[in-house]
């Protein structure tokens, strides 16, 4: 097993502005995990959701997952040959940008990739996301799913929500106690950059448009102390 570079003193000056104790705790936890696990993965996600991250953590209870505090995670790995904790770990540092995390595990690369290839979850969109669909609510009585399912399988929108949807831009009114549209109303079109009013309406009508997917970018193996990049591996497979 390659020797750990434990005697290197790493300064955390650039990440100490706030929460120094928490940064040190995370740094030390990563270093301890690097001694325990055989594989270190870098993964990225878009529009992180805590609920979905909890699902991943539940699956990998025999492993360690770190997310957030990117600078601290990068420092723990090392950014150069001189300060890297294990041989060639610094090669992962170029992947530590954006919404990224670390997965430290003893599971084989095949097992890890198989899980994430099959893992995805849908959630409600956030403001700033691009809509993958057009959502139009038909004229007449407004139903709780906004026309997404048959009327006989749905219920009219609660009359108490009329002022809410009207405040979000829908030209509704109450007719005989039912929320009503005189003409169809398009909440969003495919390709729209969603604003907060649109995302609130989509959520109110139960329309989920955001897919949570984890992308594996690279991993380090203690067996050969080297890094393998997933994009390069996919190109080789082609």
* pLDDT tens digits along 46-102: 766 788 888 999 999 999 999 989 999 999 999 999 999 999 999 999 999 988 999
Instruction: Supply the mean pLDDT for the chain.
Output: 91
Q: How far is CA 217 from CA 136, 197, 214, 232, in A?
A: 38, 34, 10, 10
pLDDT of residue 71: 95
List the single range of 34-48, 100-114, 133-147, 148-162 with lowest mean pLDDT: 34-48
pLDDT of residue 217: 97
| Helices and strands of the chain, counted as H and E runs | 7, 12
**Phi and psi, residue 152, nearest 5°:** -70, -15
- Mean pLDDT, range 30-39, rounded to an integer: 98
3-state secondary structure of 124: coil
Confidence of residue 7 (pLDDT cuts 50, 70, 90): low
Say whether pLDDT at 8 is over 90: no
Distance between CA atoms of 102 and 106, rounded to whole angstroms? 13
Instruction: Show the tokens assigned to 200.
Output: 């609130």
Q: What is the CATH number of domain 18-120+213-237?
A: 3.30.70.1730
CATH superfamily of 135-209: Ribosomal protein L10, N-terminal fragment, domain II (3.90.105.20)
Q: Please give the distance of CA 211 from its chain centroid, rounded to a whole number.
A: 9
Confidence of residue 207 (pLDDT cuts 50, 70, 90): very high
Confidence of residue 15 (pLDDT cuts 50, 70, 90): very low
Q: Cα-atom radius of gyration of the chain, to the nearest Å?
A: 24
Q: Are 172 and 166 in contact (CB under 8 A)?
A: yes
pTM of the predicted model, to two decimals? Answer: 0.73
Say whether pLDDT at 114 is over 60: yes
- Mean pLDDT, range 179-190, rounded to an integer: 98
Say whether pLDDT at 14 is over 70: no
**Phi and psi, residue 101, nearest 5°:** -145, 175
- Mean pLDDT, range 117-141, rounded to an integer: 93
Say whether pLDDT at 234 is over 60: no
CATH 3.90.105.20 spans which residues of the chain? 135-209
CATH 3.30.70.1730 spans which residues of the chain? 18-120+213-237
- Mean pLDDT, range 126-155, rounded to an integer: 96
- Mean pLDDT, range 148-155, rounded to an integer: 96
- Mean pLDDT, range 100-115, rounded to an integer: 97
List the single range of 40-54, 93-107, 144-158, 192-206 with lowest mean pLDDT: 40-54
Say whether pLDDT at 9 is over 60: no
């Amino acid at each position: 097993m390659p020797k750990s570079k434990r005697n290197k003193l790493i300064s955390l000056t650039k990440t100490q502005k706030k929460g120094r104790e928490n940064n040190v705790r995370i740094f030390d936890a990563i270093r301890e995990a690097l001694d325990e696990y055989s594989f270190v993965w870098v993964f990225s996600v878009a529009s992180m959701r805590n609920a979905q991250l909890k699902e991943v953590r539940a699956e990998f209870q025999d492993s360690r997952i770190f997310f957030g505090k990117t600078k601290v995670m990068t420092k723990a790995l090392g950014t150069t040959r001189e300060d890297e904790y294990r041989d060639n770990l610094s090669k992962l540092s170029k992947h530590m940008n954006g919404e990224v995390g670390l997965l430290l595990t003893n599971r084989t690369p095949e097992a890890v990739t198989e899980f994430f290839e099959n893992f995805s979850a849908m959630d409600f969109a956030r403001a700033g996301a691009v809509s993958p669909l057009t959502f139009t609510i038909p004229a007449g009585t407004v139903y709780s799913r906004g026309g997404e399912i048959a009327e006989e399988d749905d219920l009219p929108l609660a009359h108490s929500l009329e002022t809410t949807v009207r405040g979000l831009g829908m030209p509704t009114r109450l007719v005989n106690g039912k929320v009503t549209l005189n003409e169809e109303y398009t909440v969003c079109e495919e390709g729209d950059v969603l604003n907060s009013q649109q995302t609130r309406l989509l959520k109110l009508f139960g329309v989920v448009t955001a897919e949570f997917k984890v992308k594996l970018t690279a991993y380090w193996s203690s067996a050969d102390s080297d890094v393998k990049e997933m994009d390069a591996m996919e190109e080789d497979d082609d």
